[in-house]
Amino acid sequence: MPVAYEQHLVPVVFQPFAEDLAARAAELSPGRVLELAAGTGVLTSVLLSAAPSVELTATDLNEAMVTFGSARAPGAVWRQADAQRLPFPDGGFDLVVCQFGVMFFPDRVAAFREIRRVLAPGGRFLFNTWGPLATHSFEVALQAGLERAFPVDPPQFFPTFPHGYCDPAVVAADLAAAGFAVEDEQELTLQGRATSTADLATGYLTGTPVRAAVEERGGGPAVRATVIEEMAARLGPGPVTAPMTAYVFLAAL
């Protein structure tokens, strides 16, 4: 999964938002930074370039991602870690950053409390979440392809998880419950650029948890062909440019 994710999805879907988030982080001039849900290290790499003097610790729950990311961004200290049970002392970081990871925390308030615990006085929490599925053109097309391939029981990973925490009021309430104050919240729409719709479909089908959902349903080459056909009908075969919307939050103690 990390290889397919990095090759087909990172440049198109995640790199544009990583550049935005890293620029925001650098403006805060932090000394010690903790990154959660770092994945293959796309934000890690950009942040190290944007703020080369930071002491950056990058973490992910998935050991395979940590292994991949540590090779991609060796300038950070990499640790496998659960955001709800962080293996760090109180007050150890000036800034915690997370790109498109909070949606996957089983107990978000508990995770936010852990983040608050490891922040030093005056520390901040900077992160982004995806907007509603309808605001992400690539994933609208993907979901349509999955529903065409599995009309009875289509995989619901994207509506449920990546786009399942898309109400800014709910996010703000969870932050407040954990003791944070929202300092800034912005809606941000960026353009994703894919050279090939088929490659993008491959990335989604093999580099995300949709892979397991498709395999559980007995999917094979015919499913991939159907998804590619539907995505190409909606987006074109490529190159294709499409909008993606996210929310960016800056929370303070």
* Amino acid 2: pLDDT: 86
Burial class (CB in 10 A: 0-12, 13-18, 19+), 210: buried
Read off the tokens for 216.
């559980």
* Amino acid 121: pLDDT: 97
Mean pLDDT of the chain: 97
Which helix H or strand E contains 241, and what residues bound it?
Answer: strand 240-252
Read off the tokens for 249.
């939050």
pLDDT tens digits along 71-129: 999 999 999 999 999 999 999 999 999 999 999 999 999 999 999 999 999 999 999 99
pLDDT tens digits along 175-219: 999 999 999 999 999 999 999 999 999 999 999 999 999 999 998
Is the separation of the CB atoms in 98 and 36 below 8 Å?
A: yes
Question: What is the secondary structure of 67-107 as a DSSP string?
Answer: HHHHHH-TTSEEEE-BTTB--S-TT-EEEEEEES-GGG-SS
* Amino acid 219: pLDDT: 86
Q: Which domains does the chain have, with CATH numbers?
A: 2-133+157-191+244-252 (3.40.50.150)
